[in-house]
Structure 1
Amino acid sequence: MYHDTDPSIPHVRVIGGLSLHYGGRRMALPPGSHRLLAYLALHPAGVDRRSAAGVLWPTVDDARAAGNLRSALWRLQQVGCPLVRAEQTTLGIREVVETDLARFESWAGRVLSGSATPEDLAVDPGSIADLELLPGWYDDWVLTVRERLHLRRVHALEELSLLLRRSGRPSAAVEAVHVAVQAEPLRESGQRALIEAHQAAGNWAVARQQFDAFRRILRREIGVEPSAELTAVATAPRRRLAVPLPRQGR
């Protein structure tokens, strides 16, 4: 999802790891500035300076935390491109700065609101499969956003599959929702979307196999059956073709 990034605009990546890109190259981040940049990228609306200091340096007193924040901010200001909007009581990423998290959120928002563009529908689901936020970071403020990103990704892929199916692209719909099902195999909404996409593609036997596999997983993992609604969808008789197939010659 990075191919059309304007190199003249600072771009902060937090998906797959923290990095800064500007002028067509990756910029070196000064030691001691990484956590502040990541925190601001995850909170694009801005943060209270005192709260940010307490979250980022929770094991020291307020005065020391405030000093650490000022030091990290000074280091970020030496990078060579405009990154941080610093005011007396608040901090934030400058509006000119792009983040991959914001780009994903914008894409997901359009898909989920029904305002997706043709370009949005053409996104490669594989590029969304491994959107792990700041891998190796285990701060509470990272884990909270990471879980939200995971759920939003799954929900958006399910909706993308529905939009693709409605636009007459069932194979692409299968590919999109398959990524969601791999991420959340016990989520029934994803399983239903995958089964319906297989049916739309004419693969009714595969759809039934998917349902049977899901039913086995549910029984084994949590001891329940699929809902009556999903069962009805998966076991519905195959629809007849509107135009009969030509007879084969003997």
Structure 2
Amino acid sequence: MGAQVCLMRGFELRVDARPVVVSQNAQRVLAFLALRDRPQRRTTVASALWTDSTEDRAAANLRTALWKLSDLRDRLVRSAGTYLSLCPDVDVDLSRLMQRTRRLQDSALDDGTGDAVVPADVAAHVGELSADLLPDWDEDWLVFERERLRQYRIHALETLCRRLVRSGRFGDAVDAGLSAVESEPLRESAQRVLIEAHLAEGNVSEARRQFDRYRTMLWDDMGLLPTVPLWTLVGVLRPE
């Protein structure tokens, strides 16, 4: 069955389909390695995880964290000289999500019959895309990873929304669009796909209401107006 490291919605380690409790520092080491696509120097891992410690103390903390994994260490972490990485057969939920979403974005718009290519279980896919990366952790090294995931998530939700509109699944399209807007309310491309979904379903009033909310929020927060194409989409002239 193997081992699985879960990072979305919170850390969880499962070995042979059973939850396993490990120390907080061991969790941090596993999460750090899970977010890297190549082996990391021990010094890099130690300095990133223990920024307030001396080099020697950080190295000692890393050794202790690995030692506390006990019998699981060889199943989870590969050590090659001065480099560490997760073992290749360790499953990481974030990696699977990124792979599935990348396949969706890279695939053809339709399957050759005119039907849009969309995931089999749209609700589950939207739920996965809407999850946060280790939301309860306050770690400097997670800031960049969270922002990268946020950008990837929004692009994926926008793509999914457009494909669902093309397939005529307007309810699912609106759900995906709402999730994109929730991730970044001031992002015009997210607002646009949601408004397009409302219009495609024939709900002009919903589209106009969403546009008005966005226009007000954008002006109140940033003193800006939506771009001309968005005004045109809802059939409203932009004020000069």
1:54 aligns with 2:74: no
- Stretches of structure 2 lacking an aligned partner (at least 5 in a row): 112-116
Supply the RMSD in Å over aligned alpha carbons: 2.2
Q: State the shift of 1:35 in Å.
A: 1.4
In structure 2, the partner of 1:38 is 31
Q: Give the whole-Å Cα distance in 1 for the aligned partners of 2:147 and 2:25.
A: 26
Structure whose alpha-carbon radius of gyration is higher: 1
Q: State the shift of 1:181 in Å.
A: 0.7
Q: State the shift of 1:220 in Å.
A: 1.7
- The list of structure 1 runs, each at least 4 consecutive aligned residues, that deviate by more than 4 angstroms after superposition, is 115-119
Q: Percent identity?
A: 38
Q: TM-score, normalised by structure 1?
A: 0.83
Q: TM-score, normalised by structure 2?
A: 0.87
Distance 1:79 1:220, change over 3 A: same
Q: Tell me, what secondary structure is at the counterpart of 1:79?
A: helix
Q: Tell me, what secondary structure is at the counterpart of 1:157?
A: helix
Q: Which amino acid aligns with 1:21?
A: R
In structure 2, the partner of 1:148 is 148
Identify the structure with the greater helix proportion. Answer: 2
Q: Which amino acid aligns with 1:53?
A: A
Q: Is the 8 A contact 2:118 2:160 kept in 1?
A: no
Distance 1:179 1:138, change over 3 A: same
Deviates more, 1:151-160 or 1:62-71: 62-71
1:216 aligns with 2:209: no
- For each residue in 1:168-200, what CA deviation from the matched residue of structure 2 results, as whole angstroms up to 9, or x when unmatched? 222211111111112211110011101111111
- For each residue in 1:65-115, what CA deviation from the matched residue of structure 2 results, as whole angstroms up to 9, or x when unmatched? 222222222222423771111110211111101111111211221233235
- For each residue in 1:23-42, what CA deviation from the matched residue of structure 2 results, as whole angstroms up to 9, or x when unmatched? 22101214541211111111
Q: State the shift of 1:214 in Å.
A: 1.4
Q: Tell me, what secondary structure is at the counterpart of 1:85?
A: strand
Q: Is the 8 A contact 2:67 2:73 kept in 1?
A: no
Q: Give the whole-Å Cα distance in 2 for the aligned partners of 1:80 and 1:53.
A: 17
Number of positions where the alignment pairs a residue of Structure 1 with one of Structure 2: 229
Q: Tell me, what secondary structure is at the counterpart of 1:102?
A: helix
Q: Give the whole-Å Cα distance in 1 for the aligned partners of 2:37 and 2:98.
A: 11
Distance 1:89 1:123, change over 3 A: farther
- Stretches of structure 1 lacking an aligned partner (at least 5 in a row): 1-7, 237-250
In structure 2, the partner of 1:3 is none
